[in-house]
C-alpha cells in the first residue's frame, strides 16, 4: 500500500500512471466520488501490494533497504538491477510488502436514543471484519447496581457474523457525564457491587459477551484502591465464565499524575489484574479546548513510554480517534464548541472551500484553515493516511497488543485499508 500526497498541478490520472494503477482504483480506495477535485496536500492511499520509491540524491540500495526493512540484494533482485549499481536519481524502485504482525483491534459504537441508527448499523457491519472486538457503548450502572442497556438492534449478531467478540462495556455514566458520586457508590457499597456483578454474569451467559470492559472515569482519587479491589472481584467472576476482562484508562505519563481523570487509574494494578487495557490516547484536541491535533503522536508516545513501564506490552491497546474537529476562531474558553468532523468530510470541505491541506510534522497530523460565509475563520484538525500510518508504525515499534478506535460512524476508509495492509487482525473464538 502506498501513500501519496497531492502536489500542485497533479491530477488523478497522472498519479494513477505514476503508480501503474487505474484512476478508478484510487477513486474507490479513497472514496473520491463526489469530490470536485483533488486537494493540494491531500493524502491518497494507492491500492498496490508493496510500494514504489523514487531514488533521491545520496540513496543507495543499502540505505533504501535499511529504510524499508529489506536487503540491498533483495531490492536488486526484485527490481532487476545489479547489486552494486549506482542508482540514478528519479529511478522508480519496487519495495515488497513487509511481514504483517498479528494484533487485536477494537472499535466502540455509541448509539443514541431508542435504536441504533442505520448509519451506525452500516458502519458496524463494514468495520466488523477488521475487528477482534465490537463494543456497544454502553451499559450504564444504576444506583442499585442494575445495568441500563444501550440499544443493540443486531449489533451483537453483526459482530458474531464477522468473527468479532461482542464486548460488554460498563460505565459510570449518569445524566450525560461520568459521575464520581456514582463511582463511589459502585466501589464502596457491597450490595450494589454484588448486584452489578450478578448482572454482568447474567449478560455473559444470556447475551454471549466474551469480554467485560469497565470504563469508570472521573473517579474520586480516594477510590483508587476500592477500584482495584472491585476489579479483582470482577476478574474472578468473569474468568470463571470463560470471558476476558479489560479496562479503559486515562492517558497518564506518570504514576503520580494529578487530576480527577487520572488519580484513581492505577496502571500497575490494572496491568496485573485485567487481561488488557485500552489507553485513551486521544482528546488532546477536544471540542471545548483550543485547536490542535486530537491525538498528536508526540503526546501519544509519552503515554505509551510510561505505560510499558507499568503494564505488559501484550496487554496494551493504543486508543485512536476516527474523527477530527472544526473550531471557529478565535478560540475562547467556555465559548463555542468545536464541531466533530469525519476525515472524509474534512477533505470534502477543504475541496469546497478551495484550501490546501497542511501537515504538522511534530503532531503527525493534517490541518487547514478556511473562512466561512459569515467571514469567520475556522481551523480543522483531522486524521488521514499519514497520521494513521504514523500510529501504526508506533504500535509496531512498541510491540503492543493492538488498537482500539473511538468511535464508529464517521467515515475514514483509508484507516481500514491501511490496518489490513499493516497487520493481521486476530479473530477470537469461543
The residues carrying an active-site annotation are: 217
DSSP string, 359-413: EETTTTEEEEEEE-TTS-EEEEE---HHHHHHHHHHHHHHT-SEEEEE-TTS--H
Signed CA dihedral, 20, 21, 26, 27: sign only:
positive
Rounded to 5°, the CA angle 323-329-331 comes to: 85
The C-alpha cell that represents 33 in the structure block:
466520488
Helices (H), 97-251: 118-127, 155-161, 180-188, 190-207, 224-240
Read off φ and ψ for residue 2, nearest 5 degrees.
-115, 145
Query: In terms of C-beta density within 10 A (0-12 exposed, 13-18 middle, 19 or more buried), how is residue 361 classed?
Result: exposed
- For the chain, the maximum distance between any two Cα atoms, rounded to a whole number of angstroms, is 76
Query: From CA 399, how far away is CA 393, in angstroms rounded?
Result: 10
Query: From CA 184, how far away is CA 174, in angstroms rounded?
Result: 13
Query: From CA 51, how far away is CA 81, in angstroms rounded?
Result: 17
Query: From CA 249, how far away is CA 311, in angstroms rounded?
Result: 12
Within 59-193, strands assigned E span 92-95, 102-109, 133-136, 139-141, 147-148, 165-171, 173-174, 177-178
DSSP string, 117-134: -HHHHHHHHHHGGG-SEE
Contact in structure between 90 and 18 (CB atoms under 8 Å) = no
Assign residue 161 a region (left: φ > 0; alpha: ψ between -120 and 50; beta: otherwise): alpha
Contact in structure between 223 and 172 (CB atoms under 8 Å) = no
Amino acid at each position: 500500500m502506498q501513500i501519496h500526497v497531492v502536489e500542485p498541478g497533479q491530477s488523478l490520472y497522472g498519479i494513477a500512471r505514476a503508480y501503474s494503477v487505474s484512476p478508478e482504483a484510487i477513486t474507490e480506495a479513497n472514496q473520491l466520488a463526489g469530490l470536485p477535485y483533488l486537494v493540494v496536500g491531500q493524502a491518497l492511499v494507492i491500492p498496490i501490494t508493496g510500494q514504489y520509491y523514487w531514488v533521491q540524491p545520496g540513496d543507495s540500495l543499502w540505505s533504501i533497504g535499511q529504510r524499508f526493512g529489506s536487503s540491498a540484494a533483495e531490492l536488486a533482485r526484485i527490481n532487476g538491477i545489479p547489486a552494486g549499481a549506482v542508482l540514478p536519481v528519479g529511478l522508480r524502485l519496487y519495495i515488497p510488502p513487509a511481514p504483517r504482525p498479528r494484533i487485536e483491534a477494537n472499535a466502540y459504537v455509541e448509539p443514541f436514543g431508542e435504536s441504533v441508527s442505520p448509519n451506525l448499523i452500516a458502519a458496524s457491519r463494514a468495520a466488523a471484519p477488521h475487528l477482534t472486538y465490537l463494543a456497544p457503548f454502553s451499559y450504564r450502572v444504576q444506583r442499585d447496581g442494575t445495568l441500563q442497556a444501550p440499544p443493540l438492534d443486531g449489533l451483537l449478531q453483526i459482530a458474531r457474523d464477522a468473527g468479532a467478540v461482542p464486548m460488554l462495556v460498563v460505565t459510570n455514566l449518569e445524566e450525560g457525564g461520568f459521575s464520581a458520586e456514582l463511582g463511589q457508590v459502585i466501589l464502596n457499597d457491597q450490595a450494589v457491587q454484588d448486584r452489578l456483578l450478578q448482572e454482568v454474569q447474567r449478560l455473559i451467559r444470556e447475551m454471549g459477551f466474551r469480554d467485560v470492559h469497565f470504563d469508570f472515569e472521573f473517579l474520586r482519587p480516594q477510590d483508587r484502591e476500592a477500584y482495584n479491589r472491585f476489579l479483582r472481584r470482577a476478574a474472578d467472576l468473569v474468568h470463571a465464565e470463560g470471558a476476558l476482562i479489560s479496562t479503559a484508562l486515562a492517558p497518564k505519563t506518570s504514576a503520580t499524575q494529578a487530576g480527577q481523570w487520572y488519580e484513581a487509574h492505577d496502571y500497575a494494578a490494572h496491568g496485573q489484574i485485567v487481561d488488557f487495557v485500552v489507553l485513551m490516547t486521544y482528546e488532546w484536541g477536544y471540542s471545548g479546548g483550543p485547536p490542535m491535533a486530537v491525538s498528536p503522536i508526540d503526546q501519544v508516545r509519552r503515554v505509551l513510554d510510561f505505560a510499558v513501564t507499568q503494564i505488559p506490552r501484550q496487554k496494551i491497546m493504543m486508543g485512536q480517534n476516527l474523527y477530527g474537529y472544526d473550531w471557529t476562531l478565535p478560540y475562547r474558553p467556555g465559548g463555542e464548541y468545536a464541531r466533530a468532523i469525519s476525515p472524509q468530510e474534512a477533505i470534502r470541505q477543504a475541496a469546497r472551500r478551495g484550501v490546501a491541506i497542511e501537515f504538522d510534522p511534530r503532531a503527525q497530523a493534517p490541518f487547514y484553515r478556511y473562512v466561512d460565509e459569515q467571514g469567520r475563520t475556522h481551523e480543522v484538525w483531522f486524521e488521514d493516511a499519514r497520521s494513521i500510518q504514523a500510529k501504526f508504525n508506533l504500535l509496531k515499534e512498541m510491540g503492543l497488543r493492538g488498537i482500539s478506535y473511538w468511535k464508529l460512524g464517521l467515515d475514514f476508509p483509508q484507516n481500514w485499508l491501511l490496518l489490513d495492509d499493516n497487520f493481521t487482525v486476530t479473530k477470537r473464538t469461543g
